[in-house]
Amino acid sequence: MVRGSGIDIVEIKKLDRAVKRWGDVFLKRVYTAKELAYSRSKRHPLQHLAARFAAKEAIFKALGNSPKLNFRDIEIINDVNGRPFCRIKNRKTSIALSLSHTDHYAVASAIL
Q: Which helix (H) or strand (E) is 84 found in, with range? A: strand 84-88
57 assigned binding-site residue? yes
Per-residue b/e over 6-44, b at no fewer than 16 CB within 10 Å? bebebebeebeeebeeeeeeebeebbbeebbebbeeeee
Question: What is the spatial distance between Cα 51 and Cα 56, in angstroms, rounded to a whole number?
Answer: 9
Binding-site residue ranges for Mg(2+):
8, 57
Binding-site residue ranges:
8, 57
